Amino acid sequence: MVDFIAPASPAATGLHHADAAAGNAQVADAAADALRDALSGTAPLDRILLKAAAGAGKSFVLKRLVAEAVHHPRCRQVAIIAFTNKQTRPLARSLGQLLGKDRVCLRVKGGTGADVPADVAEVVTVADSASAIPESTQVMISTVHMLRAPGELGRMEKQLGGKGANGTSVFDVLFVDEAWQIPHHLFDGVTRAAPLWVGVGDVGQLPPLEIGDNPWRGDDRYNPNRAWPTDYDDNPRTWSRELPAVWRPTASQLGLWRAFYPEWSELNCVAAPGDRTIELATAASPVVERAQRDETLPVPPDAAQIIWHQVASGIPTLLEIDGLPAAEAPDIDLPLMNAVESLLDELFASGFTVKRANYDDGAAPNGTELSIHAGAAHEDPLVAVLATRNQAVDDAADMVDRLREKHDLAENDLVSSTVDSYQGQTNAITVALHPLTGAAKLDEFNSAFGRLAVTCTRATHGLLLVARPGLDQLLNEAPARPGTPFGEPGNRTLPRQTHKRILATFARATLDLTLTDA
């Protein structure tokens, strides 16, 4: 009924466990050396840029660099900025736990202090006004919008008791989390905060705005909407490196990760084959309750079982579903979402457990494992359903509500989100509508590789993309989109070919749900 074809691309091989993690450790050591030399004045550096693939452990490296800075004799205080509040909070929590509540301050908008999660507020000082910033603060964390607010740097300087050790700027180092998400026109408003900038982030995520849109007409090499670090790749006063390993994916997903970062000289995966597994319950399992299944949903249970066994292999999986009623629009497809619901209904009705090997401090397996199933406590979502348009996510949210009620699921067992809102998140299994499903042509929105990258790089265990048939025909026949504009960065010069390279890493099958006469 459903026959999967192996990925067209050969299985990726590389380093795993300690051998892979050592690459990131070496780059982190080199970045720490560069930071110390820059603060000491022995290296002519204005910027340190650490490029990370999705799931590379960049937050751990950033935390280490912040600690290095605040313990340096020529560093009095540092600032950390990010694009959203959601990004600042986990970083604030980890730094507060490391350095102490009196040394770490999370600056938030007036009247929003109560919105900060309790586990963050317990370990950092939350300041919803400048007057609440303690003089003992060494690490100031905020969004880029807060730091660039009129007069904010001056208010911070007053509360902190003066400028940094450099004597000219309020802070000695400006750290930027998810640096490639912040455009020039925002970052330009905070550059005076410190003489040394350290940017860390995923270069493959969604850009601040599509880089082809350039409202600036005075210089075709300048785009204020472009991510700010791209201006400094070849600058002699910039130290720049790539983190060559990823912690998030299964070993079977490494080829997909490499497809999103083709220009990198090296990319390895800490997880080795067998470290991450999805164990599906059998039909004879006592957790199976056939009466719970909705027989009106379109995917037959036996087909769903085949599909989930393929996903459980860890290999990225693409399922094209034929025979469905017409969609309202290419990316607002309720019949396709109903098919996803039937797949998830079978998964939760049958039961499953995700397992992962635990590692020691050197990234070697320590002989223990972590097992998670629906209803058990877990920090990250178990299953995430992603779509690109708000209307499609509204349909997904309704589906999630029905399945939660039907299978008595906890909120974190099954979630839904737009792709754009899910940047930086992690889950065990991702189920997503392919951004190109049903499309008649490639456009700036559906062909954005950053959007597809976010979709495909959230899962630690299994990835299932669903689409209507026709992706290959679209990529073969749709009018070619223009390449990357002159002077702009990135590997978006051949959109159709790049999408084909990504699809080649997926195991694929077509499920025909066309109704036939009995």
What is the rounded CA–CA span in Å between residue 455 and residue 423? Answer: 9
| Element of type H or E holding 238 | strand 238-242
Q: What is the mean pLDDT of residues 369-389?
A: 92
Q: Are 378 and 370 in contact (CB under 8 A)?
A: no
What b/e string do you get for 248-268 counting C-beta neighbours within 10 Å, with b at 16 or more? bbbbbbbbbbbbbbeebeebb
Q: Left, alpha or beta for 346 (phi > 0: left; psi -120 to 50: alpha)?
A: alpha
Q: Are 407 and 348 in contact (CB under 8 A)?
A: yes
Residue 130 is predicted with a pLDDT of 96
| Element of type H or E holding 98 | helix 85-99
- DSSP symbols for 287-354: T--GGGS-TTSSS-HHHHHHHHHHHHT-S-EEEEEESPPPPSBTTB-HHHHHHHHHHHHHHHHH-EEE
What is the rounded CA–CA span in Å between residue 65 and residue 226? Answer: 26
Q: What DSSP designation does 421 have?
A: G
pLDDT tier, 206 (very low <50, low <70, confident <90, very high otherwise): low
pLDDT tier, 440 (very low <50, low <70, confident <90, very high otherwise): confident
- Side-chain half-sphere exposure of 201, counting CA atoms within 13 A: 25
Statement: residue 77 has pLDDT above 70: yes
If we measure between CA atoms, which residue out of 143, 108, 147 comes closest to residue 124?
A: 108
Statement: residue 219 has pLDDT above 50: no
What is the rounded CA–CA span in Å between residue 411 and residue 429? Answer: 15
What is the rounded CA–CA span in Å between residue 422 and residue 419? Answer: 5
Q: Are 213 and 22 in contact (CB under 8 A)?
A: no
- Side-chain half-sphere exposure of 200, counting CA atoms within 13 A: 26
- DSSP symbols for 339-396: HHHHHHHHHHHH-EEEEEEEE-TTS-EEEEEEEEETTS--SS-SEEEEESSHHHHHHH
Statement: residue 224 has pLDDT above 70: no
Residue 289 is predicted with a pLDDT of 42
Q: What is the mean pLDDT of residues 491-503?
A: 73
Statement: residue 518 has pLDDT above 60: no
pLDDT digits (tens, 9 = 90+) for 427-437: 999 999 998 89
Residues 51, 56, 59: CA angle, nearest 5 degrees: 80
CATH of 272-480+497-512, one of 1.10.3470, 1.10.287, 3.40.50, 1.20.120: 3.40.50
Q: What sign has the CA pseudo-torsion 136, 141, 146, 150?
A: positive
Statement: residue 176 has pLDDT above 70: yes
Q: Are 403 and 294 in contact (CB under 8 A)?
A: no
Amino acid symbol at 84: T
| Element of type H or E holding 408 | none
Distance of CA 151 to the CA centre of its chain: 33
Residues spanned by CATH 3.40.50.300 within the chain?
Answer: 17-246
If we measure between CA atoms, which residue out of 107, 104, 108, 86 comes closest to residue 95?
A: 104
pLDDT tier, 494 (very low <50, low <70, confident <90, very high otherwise): low
What is the rounded CA–CA span in Å between residue 169 and residue 331? Answer: 48
Q: What DSSP designation does 38 have?
A: H
Q: What is the mean pLDDT of residues 344-363?
A: 95
Domain 17-246, CATH: 3.40.50.300
